[in-house]
């Protein structure tokens, strides 16, 4: 057995550092055949692109060139040492491969290969058991089988060409390869980055507990996200989750929470999904934040990493448009926030600022009339050749009789916990194009000025033009340090969970955000 650099006792398996920082990699079973060539793009091209510094070897009995690299007929033929092997060969051939790995001194073997316990067939179950026995004998660690493996930007590991090369604070463990891709891309699209992401499949050796323990100690990981389909050791999982959650926020998406979903996890990763009620109690008890979709997980990560925790669930929604404001209110309240009526004294002050016609001076506030009035006032003051010219010139500051004063007044509303700024892209009668970017700038400036916790929701996007503008607007919000959400429901759910988390763990979110900088 390998010596344990962390000084753990000899009977425990080697720690995971070697898994994330291998000095050399061999990919076994890639194909020159066009039908199999897409795997080359998963396991060779991303590492080259991300600047993996070690040796990459390709193994194929037919030799030749694969993905631009010379193919060695077997692992034994590889000239240097190999720390990490990626298996893309059929399941039946994996026991032989693992014996070769043992001889070669390989430290970690990751199996893209499927066809093991998840099939529910005895042959696959037995094969998987043999893999584990062989690995334990030689002190090797196994990732998978039936998984995509490791994404670790700092060491140049990855399995898709479009994963960001930059590192970040999120450590992800994910029992599904496809969901790893979706979570990484969803979060990346929202400006978030990862320290590590592990697609760990059937978890025959390295499992959710090992990964939680590792990420809890990993200095590069500040918040942990987990997609878990099941466990074989509920007691250890509870301990690992509790330990992880005591150090870092942990967001858990339990896949297979319905009856059919539970059956699906069994055939996907051979996981016993377990009763949803048990999982609920379990996750609550350890202090993990539970979410129910990738979208909810991404929103939760945005809230944790970018949003000041609100003082309570009472919020004021501020945006343009009456109908969208009604919908925003329903979605907020449905998710557990409240939009209380504006107190009379605050309403009176707002009436000095915002025309009462069309502004719904209750809560939500429809700011469209205020924006119109500001523009009209400016037309009298300055040259403006077009409407689009006017809005960026609105200076947002206290005393501006506009957005700035709106913030000042709302800050005097004692019970208010937060302000949600929102814009419905495809609602208004004017088709969306780049003019909207300028129209949104004063709102973003107001959000930055706001002393209350705040969030920006850019929503109701169906047209391609709007989508393009959304991407730009989101970028501007992110550069202004604003938390951005893409639906009112998603925002409200994440914010409510953030408030609950802050209530249970005061100060933890602030410490997280400070550690990320």
For its own copies, the closer CB: 174 or 286: 174
For its own copies, the closer CB: 221 or 325: 325
Residue 216 and residue 263 in contact, taking contact as beta carbons nearer than 8 Å: no
Dihedral, CA of residue 172, residue 174, residue 178 and residue 182, to nearest 10: -30
For its own copies, the closer CB: 74 or 375: 375
- At 208 the three-state DSSP class reads helix
Report the side by side order of strands in the sheet with 24-28.
65-66, 69-72, 55-59, 24-28, 84-87, 108-111, 141-143
CB of 10 to its own copies, least distance (A): 36
Residue 316 and residue 419 in contact, taking contact as beta carbons nearer than 8 Å: yes
CB of 190 to its own copies, least distance (A): 8
Phi first, then psi, for residue 394 (nearest 5°) are -65, 115
- The DSSP symbol for 12 reads S
For its own copies, the closer CB: 131 or 327: 327
Ranges of beta strands (E only) in 236-335 are 250-254, 289-291, 315-319
Output the six-digit token pair for 458: 């850019």
- At 275 the three-state DSSP class reads coil
Output the six-digit token pair for 212: 């939680």
Question: What spatial distance separates the first Cα and last Cα of the chain, rounded to whole Å?
Answer: 41
Alpha carbons 354 and 25: distance in angstroms, whole number: 64
- At 156 the three-state DSSP class reads coil
CB of 78 to its own copies, least distance (A): 24
For its own copies, the closer CB: 184 or 250: 184
CB of 181 to its own copies, least distance (A): 5
CB of 198 to its own copies, least distance (A): 13
* Residue in the block written with tokens 């790995």: 101
* Residue in the block written with tokens 């026995």: 133
For its own copies, the closer CB: 10 or 381: 381
For its own copies, the closer CB: 72 or 159: 159
CB of 309 to its own copies, least distance (A): 21
CB of 196 to its own copies, least distance (A): 16
CB of 49 to its own copies, least distance (A): 11
For its own copies, the closer CB: 182 or 247: 182
For its own copies, the closer CB: 107 or 196: 196
Length of the chain: 517
Question: How many angstroms separate the Cα of 485 from the Cα of each of 300, 329, 447, 457?
Answer: 10, 15, 14, 5
CB of 386 to its own copies, least distance (A): 6
Report the side by side order of strands in the sheet with 167-174.
149-151, 194-199, 167-174, 223-228, 250-254, 289-291
Residues facing 484 on adjacent strands? 456
């Amino acid at each position: 057995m390998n010596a344990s650099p962390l000084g753990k006792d000899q009977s425990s398996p080697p720690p995971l550092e070697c898994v994330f920082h291998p000095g050399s990699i061999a990919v076994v079973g890639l194909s020159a055949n066009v039908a199999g060539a897409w795997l080359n793009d998963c396991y060779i091209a991303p590492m080259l692109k991300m600047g993996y510094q070690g040796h990459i070897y390709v193994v194929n009995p037919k030799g030749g060139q694969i993905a631009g690299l010379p193919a060695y007929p077997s692992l034994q033929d590889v000239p240097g040492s190999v720390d990490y092997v990626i298996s893309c060969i059929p399941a039946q051939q994996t026991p032989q491969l693992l014996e070769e790995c043992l001889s070669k001194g390989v430290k970690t073997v990751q199996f893209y290969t499927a066809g093991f316990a998840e099939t529910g067939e005895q042959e696959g179950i037995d094969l998987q058991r043999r893999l584990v026995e062989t690995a334990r004998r030689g002190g090797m660690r196994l990732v998978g089988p039936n998984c995509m493996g490791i994404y670790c930007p700092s060491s140049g590991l990855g399995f898709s060409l479009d994963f960001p090369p930059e590192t970040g604070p999120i450590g992800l463990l994910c029992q599904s390869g496809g969901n790893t891709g979706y979570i990484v891309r969803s979060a990346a699209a929202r400006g978030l980055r990862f320290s590590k992401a592990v697609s760990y499949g059937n978890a025959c050796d390295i499992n959710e507990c090992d990964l939680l323990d590792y990420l809890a100690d990993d200095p590069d990981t500040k918040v942990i996200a987990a997609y878990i389909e099941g466990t074989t050791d509920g007691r250890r999982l509870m301990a690992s989750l509790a330990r992880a959650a005591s150090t870092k926020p942990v967001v858990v998406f339990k896949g297979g929470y319905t009856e059919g979903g539970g059956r699906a996890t069994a055939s996907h990763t051979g996981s016993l999904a377990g009763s949803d009620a048990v999982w609920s109690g379990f996750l609550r008890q350890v202090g993990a934040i539970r979410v129910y979709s990738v979208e909810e997980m991404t929103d939760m990560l945005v809230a944790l990493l970018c949003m000041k925790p609100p003082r309570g669930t009472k919020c004021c929604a501020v945006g343009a448009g009456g109908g969208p404001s009604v919908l925003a209110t329903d979605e907020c309240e449905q998710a557990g926030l409240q939009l209380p009526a504006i107190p009379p004294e605050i309403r009176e002050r707002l009436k000095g600022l915002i025309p009462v016609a069309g502004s719904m001076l209750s809560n939500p506030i429809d700011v469209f009339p205020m924006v119109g009035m500001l523009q009209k006032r400016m037309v009298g003051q300055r040259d403006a050749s077009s409407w689009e010219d006017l809005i960026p010139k609105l200076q947002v500051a206290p005393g501006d009789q506009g957005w700035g004063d709106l913030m000042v007044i709302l800050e005097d509303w004692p019970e208010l916990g937060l302000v949600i700024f929102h814009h419905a892209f495809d609602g208004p009668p004017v088709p969306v194009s780049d003019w909207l970017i300028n129209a949104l700038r004063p709102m973003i400036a107001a959000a930055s000025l706001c002393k209350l916790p705040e969030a920006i929701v850019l929503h109701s996007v169906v047209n391609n033009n709007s989508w393009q503008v959304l991407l730009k607007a989101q970028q501007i919000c992110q550069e202004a340090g604003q938390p951005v959400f893409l639906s009112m429901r998603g925002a409200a759910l994440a914010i409510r969970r953030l408030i609950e988390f802050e209530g249970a763990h005061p100060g933890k979110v602030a410490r997280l955000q400070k550690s990320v900088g």
